[in-house]
Amino acid sequence: MSTISIHRTEILRITHARSRIFRQRYRRTIPLWKLAINSRSSDTSKKEELSVQISIPPQVDQLRPDGLRFDRLQPSEPEFGHEDRFEFGKFVAREAMLDEEYWTAAWLRAESHWEDRSNERYVDNYKRKFAEQEFNAIKRRCKGMQGQKCSCIVAVKKEEKHIKRSVIKSVVGTLDLSIRYFLQGETFPGEKVKSQLFCSINQEGSNRYGYIANLCVAKSARRQGIARNMLRFAVESARLSGVEHVYVHVHKNNSVAQELYQKTGFKIVETGKFESLDDDTYLLQYTS
């Protein structure tokens, strides 16, 4: 049984080409039934697919937190409690709402992290462990700490008539957006500052900034503008939170990622006169 919420849709002023940003306000509907974990077949040769080409690792049932259902169908958009979403092509960017979406985001990050080392021994075990740890880390970050806010943004396939997809086959991209405060003495994220016995955080509005991390897209869904449009949604979400500057670190050898961010409007920050905590990355900034 599913519950439908009556809601109101408001189109924001900012649009990108044929993309549309919606703001929806309605009460979140919480299912009242208890989630059950079904036992799987012992045939280990059978694998479920994640975003077509990304498969759920063997024995993942042993690692799944209580309550997760990998066969859970993706609810329709009106059933969610998120306010903002960004439509582009066949996809929608929005904040993750379900534990199954958090888990899929964690697994996509595990796949991305080990993508160039797929032939290493025990790589499946490493990916399972990575996904488990990242899943727990995402949930901790999204609870917020010290006044900071973190959102796990996902790109999901749009609903289609007469087509039912599971949550894990709907999520095709993910990133984290954090709203942070500069530490005392900082002028940009990651700057080395003189250590102090007590470090204070200036929580004035002008001292806040956005930070993007963990951007990745499923192999099967690349070259469709998903990463670029997730970035646009993240930047707009930060702006609506009252943040003017959004930052991201990119490895100096990752020319593809650098080009992606620069096409989206990010520019490399000249930090030569400052001491940085990481000399292997560039710091990029987007200014609203």
CA–CA gap between residue 148 and residue 142 (Å, rounded): 9
Q: Are 248 and 234 in contact (CB under 8 A)?
A: no
Task: Give 148's strand partners.
Answer: 145
Phi, psi of 13 (to 5 degrees): -75, -35
Name the residue type at position 112.
Answer: S
Name the residue type at position 18.
Answer: R
Name the residue type at position 284.
Answer: L
102 part of the active site: no
Q: Active site residue: 181, 261, 282, 286, which one?
A: 261
Residue 110: exposure state from Cβ atoms within 10 A (0-12, 13-18, ≥19): buried
Enumerate helices (H) and strands (E) in the chain, giving the number of each: 5, 12
CA proximity to 91, closest of 222, 196, 206, 287: 222
Give the other-Cβ count within 10 Å of 287's Cβ. Answer: 10
What does each C-alpha distance from 244 to 12, 69, 173, 253 come to in angstroms? Answer: 18, 39, 25, 28
| Catalytic residue positions, numbered | 261
